[in-house]
Structure 1
């Protein structure tokens, strides 16, 4: 009888967890002060959301009574208010590291997730940590969390003798919802008790399912509110001082305006009227010996904020906008290139994005870059001529994304780059789909892309993939395929490395859904991938990969991986010549990864790796070590050292063409080389409070490739000795970057930034193996540049200005 009662209780509990909780809110006319006290009378009569349930690690477990959480919601004509009490039997142990915005740090956390359309597709998430810091993001199941999105809202966190309290005011201008008189919103609350690494939600999130945003509760009671006029102005002024050995110090004053306007309740216009990206993070450049360009992260805020729609089809690489010029200048024998711009200036850019109440998402991105020329001097006459390396260009993206059944979508995407005059134009069109079963147990996704290049010779190409996977439960699997034709080219506004192939792949995984006696979490993944050259059918890649990731009861992370190429493969990219390939040997390698619990004042990451090839003397090994120390809640430092060595690596270095009438080289030269890489990075912060932070970021990088002997590529893909080649093709690249910055959020959405930066880089063929000399020479190099800048940005909300007047 007892067993039957227990089973009945468990069934009813599971049934209750699977239902959406409902919270009623009420309208208020009383003014609420955001001070973390919840002492206004109106808070006392509000309905309470409680009975939180663990999301991770012990999914489905109720929150202990001594850590119970109570949340209330109120609203007026301008904003929604959230009051949360997080009880804790030991308030002195609440972790509360002070960090800058969008960085949780080692702190307890409270969050509210809001979906104004209650369609299970996209959450607006707002977080406050126990140190009174803010974070916000837009979340979708497809793309995860996007913390580049920033809203303007108010919050206050206060530690009490019973735990801690959060009070929040989120204006309607920071949300998206319909214009209906009676609102029904998707709603969930989140709490993390950091010292335990326990995460809880108000509405149960079942980790067996492959969705997060569809498992929210419901907020009811908001009536007769009107979406406000969403007009935000962000004027800014920046002052820069630049200096290096070639030029004297000079100052530049810049000013401009960013604009955000809510066209209606669903669509928003973002516009840069005068761009200024002078304080964006530097790029981590490397010695690139491969056949493909290095891909950089996008650090410019305009191109990172709210890009969910523009990521459909994976067609947009926004670094193309304002990136390298499309052409390289040509100089005669008696000419010298004296100025060749490394990038193109952005004139302006705008985005329009949003979604209708019927689930149709529309995104438009447009940007214009200026005409750019190189300067070439005639050494005989000293005359200087200009050559256009990038004409006036227009970049455009159109996305139509139809969501249905709350968990599926079909999208149409078009990207277009039109350059003025007789320069190359590019156009890519795609159809992408992401289909899920009603219970989110299976997924069918894929896309079909068509590219058209208008150039000296027009090119048309296709890229298509199809994937099927199980997305729920402990055991999951997936399989799919991909085909790319030879002339597919999306590189005008996207990035694509490999073409002219088809591939097949499959994977399976296992995970625990609740802790065991040893592990809080455990995941194992097995992946198989094979790629074939489309025209010949030769195998280009054959990879087997096993990964295991785990976290023990003390929240230390342990991972390992084994990676194997079981058969010889044919590399059609490394020779840099059409229809030529080099045969790559079989390989097996592995790595370990250990990361101790970041809750501790001292933590460390260690990652050794090793691989050996079926080729005499050829192997690679390396390690990284990253200690970090949190001195107190204000000061912390993180250091990381990386070392990687490749012995007897084989790679392309040159092509020789003895026949001037032939476009195909007679000899493709490879090198047998050792490649060694070192890097040191140091980052740290000192936070005066949640609005003021000093940051430091340093990076030193050195990588060199020392050629031992040269080889020629035979027609059969094998390498043979080539003793007649004497040109020095060693490579050595050094770089140094240092950023010292101060950031002060002096008002909601308004910021003062002070930055000092110095950086230098050098590439050479001669290798000096004295590490100390290389660092010293680089810092004393004439190329070392210094930048000091001050930027002030002020947020203006039209509604606040209107109310004042």
Structure 2
């Protein structure tokens, strides 16, 4: 494929009538990617693509033929949501190294989606670029016109550019997917089978400097108080060169990020939350190498709890620490070496401690001024392999805990992409009252081509491995082994579009005792019918008792947990239909009299029009005779476990109304309620077994409920510029007293606990080059 130099002005209007378009060379002859992999597309559904370029951007024009344009699906959605619509995409790899694509999609409703795809981590739709597109439906199909500024891409500093490129098309009504460069689903990954784009020569790219100032206001109101907060800040994006970019946020504002799905957590580990803050999700593929980074640590609740006297209490313990600023530098040089640097600083946080006897108070630091840093060097080679060094570091001001983790990660593939060897070796060091060092290592090999595939691997984690200052890791002090083998069809049959069966096994041992901590053997089947309905099912068994070293919450103590087996079943009907349904069922049967788990969810969805849709989900979950930690008695060094019945009900409602692809209303509602009622208590013995304890009378029941409602209006009024209006209310209630009346639970939340937030935020994208031209004209 050859890009042609643009000589005249091109207007992005979905009409390819300029002379440059008429004279450009054509890429056609698309191949089916799914479901009939490798077949040439029919003439009546052919696609023709042309590429232009100048010193500012690359331009793509596509004519997508359709023998029945009236059936082109075109649901309107917000950015990065495909919906039920035909789409066209262009995938660009400026280094032509087969391992990373910047993917840009346009729907038939003129919606935009973009993602950063890497062969190791897959698609990352949190990445957003600034680009232009326009579509137009005609009597022979539809047209796409795209302008992608070089600022949205990464490529070497070279007079002659050779890029990897592919074009993608999906016809939604038939779920047919096509690519210009044939993607053989028998081997390798998507990005390693791209075509070549030549012709881009001697470009002089403009300065890549973008300023995104913002202003926001928040009106917070509850039963006790009303408060108005005004905020302002600035995001900076600067292209150090065509390969490396600096991103920085000064005085960040994350007040409009999505709420967390908080749950009643009775287990020994913290609840892990998704990262919803754009700065920490966009373009972070380098920093996620080796799974050492959990960015929710930055700005999280303080980890240092103050020591309290007999009559002392903390007024209010903060749920977050303020982020002062953050920056990241990332890119890749001509030799395929990726370099990433991320740094963030949080401010000192204190609490007020009051003496309830004499009324005196004192301040105590619970989180000092803290610097978080991640440094990455990632070398790619052979278009399918990489070796990575990553270091995370947390430095706290004063005599507080510091931490450092370094890791080597490798992902190696044979030349024909038929076998993979991967692994890691991480070393952690914690500097506290007692300095500790630990290691985390793994090695795996697998066949990655053909209908039959296999994998085998092992992992070793020492007792003192600890990356939790800037990462997240729940279990240590074990070694494990796993195997898997699978069969899949590569092309449709009379019944299935896709069919895959997986056999897997896993076993885990404690390093010191060699007792089995975990084990599982299972079979899972996933299918898609010729009418694009999904059906999946599976059976798993844990045939050995497990030694749980975490549930007792005391070092070197363990609870022996019973054998179990579980069954799951899932269906998801074709989303092309106006009405669709998702159904999931799972049942767990324990080798313990009366103990079981049952998880059920049903999610109907209805698309009233291309603009309006509604999705509702109800998810009841019950645990009968569950066993878990409830108390520790210091005087007798006794661990108390409870047998409890737990019932959870989770209701979710989401809806969207799209005026057009730039204006959207969104509604998200969640009510979560979980109760855990203890019916018997036991003393945990040194052997890991339980003896009933009849004299324990503490009320350790739990009733936890949360309510969240977000109603937002979003308007992309200019490229990269957005105005958002958000109304949010939320409430949380936690108590040891159980009332099983559903209406009473809601009344308590709404009458006593409800908080209201009304906010307006405006972000404006400023291109330095445009600003420079404004001043010249002035």
Matched, 1:579 2:549: no
- Report what 2:731 is aligned to: 760
Contact kept, 8 Å, 2:55 with 2:206, in 1: the verdict is: no
CA distance in 2, matches of 1:544, 1:776: 45
Once residues 620 and 170 of structure 1 are traced to their aligned partners in structure 2, the CA distance between those partners, rounded to angstroms, is 51
Q: SS at the partner of 2:476? A: coil
Equivalent position to 1:175, from 153, 161, 170: 153
Q: Tell me by how many angstroms 1:590 deviates.
A: 0.6
Is the aligned partner of 1:728 residue 2:699? yes
Query: How much does 1:210 deviate?
Result: 2.8
**Counterparts of residues 515-594 of structure 1 (less than 5 Å):** 515-594=492-571
Q: Deviations over 1:557-613 (max 9, x none)?
A: 000011210111111111111111111111011111010000000000011111111
Aligned position for 2:715: 744
Alpha-carbon deviations, 1:715-773, whole Å to 9, x = none?
11111111111101111110000000000000000000000001011111111011111
Deviation at 1:77, TM superposition (A): 1.8
SS of 1:288 mapped into structure 2: coil
The structural deviation recorded for 1:384 is 2.3
Residues 179 and 227, structure 1, Cα contact 8 Å, conserved in 2: no
Alignment of 1:639 onto 2:610: no
Partner of 1:212 in structure 2?
190
Give the Å deviation of 1:800. 2.0
C-alpha contact (below 8 Å) 1:503/1:530 kept by paired residues: yes
Match of 2:199 among 213, 216, 221: 221
> Which structure 2 residue ranges, 5 or more long, are not aligned?
none
1:273 aligns with 2:244: no
User: Does 2:325 align with 1:348?
Assistant: yes
Please state whether the residue corresponding to 1:310 is helix, strand or coil: coil
Q: Could you tell me which residue of structure 2 aligns to residue 158 of structure 1?
A: 136
| Deviation of the 1:381 alpha carbon | 3.3
Residues 338-360 of structure 1, C-alpha deviations (whole Å, 9 max, x = no match): 12211100000000100111011
Residue of 441, 444, 447 corresponding to 1:467: 444
- The answer as to whether partners of 1:507 and 1:528 remain within 8 angstroms in 2 is yes
Q: TM-score, normalised by structure 1?
A: 0.95
Q: State the distance in 2 between where 1:178 and 1:86 align.
A: 32
Match of 2:756 in 1: 786
Which deviations, in whole Å up to 9, do the C-alpha atoms of 1:434-469 show, x marking residues without a partner? Answer: 111111111111100111110011111111011111
- Pairing partner for 2:576 from 578, 581, 599: 599
Say whether the 8 Å CA contact 2:7–2:20 is kept in structure 1.
no
Q: Secondary structure at the match of 2:315?
A: strand
Asked if the contact 1:179/1:226 (under 8 Å) is kept, the reply is no
Measured in 2, the distance between the counterparts of 1:510 and 1:653 equals 45
Matched residue SS, 1:42: helix
Q: After superposition, give the CA deviation of every residue in 1:140-168 in whole Å (9 maximum; x if it has no partner).
A: 11011111111111100111111110001
Query: Residue in 2 aligned with 1:709?
Result: 680
Name the CA distance, whole Å, in 1 between partners of 2:15 and 2:141: 13
User: Which one of the candidate residues 291, 294, 310 is aligned to 2:271?
Assistant: 294
In structure 2, what is the equivalent of residue 649 of structure 1? 626
The CA deviation at 1:802 is: 2.5
SS of the residue 2:660 aligns to = coil
Whether 1:334 and 2:311 are equivalent positions in the alignment is yes
SS at match of 2:271: coil
The residue that corresponds to 1:14 in the other structure is none
The Cα of 1:55 is off from its aligned counterpart by 0.6
In 1, the alpha carbon distance for the partners of 2:713 and 2:508 equals: 49
Aligned to 1:320: 297
- Does the aligned pair in 1 maintain the 2:350–2:367 contact within 8 Å? yes
Residue among 586, 590, 599 paired with 1:622: 599
Q: Which residue is 1:255 aligned to?
A: 232
| Aligned-partner SS, 1:780 | helix
> Pairwise CA RMSD of aligned residues?
0.9
SS of residue in 2 equivalent to 1:776 = helix
Give the Å deviation of 1:172.
1.3
Find the counterpart in structure 1 of residue 741 from structure 2.
770
Instruction: Give the SS at the match of 1:498.
Output: coil
1:438 maps onto 2:415 in alignment: yes
How many Å apart are 1:265 and its aligned residue? Answer: 1.7
Give, in angstroms, the shift of residue 250 of structure 1. 2.3
- The 1-side partners of 2:749 and 2:65 are apart by 55
Does structure 1 retain, via aligned residues, the 8 Å contact 2:371–2:395? yes
Give the superposition deviation at 1:302: 0.2
1:307-342 Cα deviation digits (max 9, x unpaired): 110011110000000001021233222222112211
Per-residue deviation, residues 391-449 of structure 1 (Å, max 9, x unmatched): 00000111011111111111111111000111100111111111111111111111001
Structure 2 distance, partners of 1:419, 1:591, is: 46
The match for 2:772 is: 802
Structure 1 residue aligned with 2:80: 102
CA distance in 1, matches of 2:139, 2:673: 52
Instruction: Give a deviation string over 1:343-393, Cα, whole Å, max 9, x none.
Output: 100000000100111011110010000000011112233232111100000
Task: Name the counterpart of 1:680.
Answer: 651
SS of 2:770's equivalent in the other structure is helix
Matched-pair contact (CA < 8 Å) for 1:426–1:492: yes
Distance 2:126 2:769 in 1: 24
- Partner Cα distance (2:516, 2:401) in 1: 33
**3-state DSSP class of the match of 2:288?**
helix
Q: Determine helix, strand or coil for the equivalent of 1:674.
A: strand
| 2:157/2:334 contact within 8 Å kept | no
Partners of 1:649 and 1:377 in 2: CA distance: 39
The whole-number CA distance in structure 2 between the counterparts of 1:323 and 1:686 is: 34
Alignment length, in residue pairs?
A: 775
Task: Provide the C-alpha distance between the structure 1 equivalents of 2:221 and 2:751, rounded to a whole number of angstroms.
Answer: 14
**Residues 465-520 of structure 1, C-alpha deviations (whole Å, 9 max, x = no match):** 11111111111100110111111100000001001100011111111100000000
SS at match of 1:227: coil
Offset at residue 651 of structure 1 (A): 0.6
- How far apart are residue 67 of structure 1 and its match? 0.5
Counterpart-to-counterpart distance in 2, 1:456 and 1:329: 16
Q: Partner residue of 2:223? A: 245
- From 105, 120, 123, the equivalent of 1:145 is 123
Counterparts of 1:83-98 in structure 2, within 5 Å, are 83-98=61-76
